[in-house]
Amino acid sequence: MASKQVPLIETVDLRKSYFSEELETAVLHGLNLTINEEEFVSIMGPSGSGKSTLMHILGFLDQPTSGKYLFRGEATRTMTDDELAAIRATRVSFVFQAFNLLPRTTVLENVMLPLLYHPTIPASERRDRAMHAIETVGLGDRATYYTNQLSGGQQQRTAIARALVTEPDVIFADEPTGNLDSKSGNQVMEAIQELHAAGGRTIILVTHEQNTAQHAKRIIHLRDGHIDSDTTKFKRLNAKKNHNLTK
């Protein structure tokens, strides 16, 4: 398969600066990163190290300042706005720390939202697909609830259902449990893990918590916009060893 030869995500000297009134804040300082299909990657690092910034670029929510971002071997820099929109609609999904659900809207409608913009899924299938995704995250009995009638964990699971309803290749989750207590956090992590276990999907997860990160096979540490370490565990023992090395 072609996907075996071409990595899903590849960055070359990826840089990002924010500009405000002539002032440049360099956040990412030339990242080289390769992520293959069906990987489960955790990104860790201190606050302000650029994790979210990286995720937004990889998730097609923002543009890098310089460097290359290849998605399935295709350079993204030259893509038109419509091409980028098409990738967001079909290939990638994002789960935000702040949920970002539509206010005053039901769970079902929130989950159906991406399907409105999906180029190939027919309108007649939207409801079924959305219900299926909602059941996948264990919210079947809450489908008609308004999002403000849900707990934080339920809201985040709604956001996860919204992320997986289009059956994307990659799901980006930026501290999905950051606003949740440990019990809700565990439920959300379970949902994410099951998604990966079901196969065929790449998951990239930002987290602060060591035990959350342990769900992933590969952990990338960022520090001040550089990759500090990038370790893949093959066995549990190795993982611990690697982890200790990076400390």
Partner 1 sequence: MLVIDTFQAARKSLDRNRNRAMLTMLGVIIGVGSVVLMTSVGASMEELILGQISSIGAQSMVIFPGQQEGAEGTVQAGFDSITFSDIEALEKLDTVTSIAPAMFLPVPQATYGRETTEPRVIGTVPNYFRNRELTLSAGRLLEDADIRGARNVVVLSSEIVDDLFGKQDPIGKRIKIGSRFYEVVGTLESVGTQFFQNADEFVFIPLSTARAQTGQKYLNVVSLQAVGNFDLAQSDVETLLRKRHGIVGDDDFIVRTSAQANDILGAVSLGLTLFITTIAGISLIVGGIGIMNIMLVAVSERTREIGLRKAVGAKRRDILLQFLIEAIALTVIAGMIGVFLGLALAGLVAGIVDKFLPTYDFVLSLPSIGIALCMAFATGLGFGLYPARKAALLSPMNALRYE
Tell me the two tokens of residue 11: 């960055």
93 binds, among ligand ATP, partner 1, Mg ion, none (CB under 5 to 8 A by kind): partner 1
Candidates 11, 42, 52, 156: give the one binding ligand ATP (CB under 6 A). Answer: 52
Least spacing, CB of residue 165 vs partner 1, in Å: 9
Q: Binding to ligand ATP by residue 50, rule CB under 6 A?
A: yes
Per CB under 8 A, which region of 35-43, 106-114, 148-156, 215-223 contacts partner 1?
106-114
User: Which entry of partner 1, ligand ATP, Mg ion, none binds 176, CB below 5 to 8 A by partner kind?
Assistant: none
Burial class, 208, CB count within 10 angstroms (exposed 0-12 / middle 13-18 / buried 19+) = middle
Residue numbers 13-42 binding partner 1 by CB under 8 A: none
Q: Is 202 in the site for Mg ion (CB under 5 A)?
A: no
Partner touching 200 among Mg ion, ligand ATP, partner 1, none, CB below 5 to 8 Å by kind: none
* Using rule CB under 8 A, residue 93 touches partner 1: yes
Does residue number 27 form part of the binding site for ligand ATP (CB under 6 A)?
Answer: yes
* Helices of type H across 21-125: 51-58, 81-90, 107-116
Is the CB of 47 or the CB of 80 nearer to ligand ATP?
47
Report the alpha-carbon distance of residue 79 to residue 27 in Å, rounded.
23
How many CA atoms are closer than 13 Å to the CA of 21, on its beta-carbon side? Answer: 0
CA distance 83 to 63: 14
Amino acid at 105: T
Piece of the chain touching ligand ATP by CB under 6 A; list 42-50, 79-87, 124-132, 187-195: 42-50
Please, which residues bridge with residue 14 across strands? 31
* 215-to-6, 88, 120, 181, 219 alpha-carbon distances in Å: 25, 25, 33, 18, 10
- For Mg ion, the binding residue among 42, 52, 90, 184 (CB under 5 A) is 52
Question: Taking a C-beta distance cutoff of 8 angstroms, is the pair 110, 102 a contact?
Answer: yes
Residues that bind ligand ATP (CB under 6 A): 18, 25, 27, 45, 47-53
Residues that bind Mg ion (CB under 5 A): 52
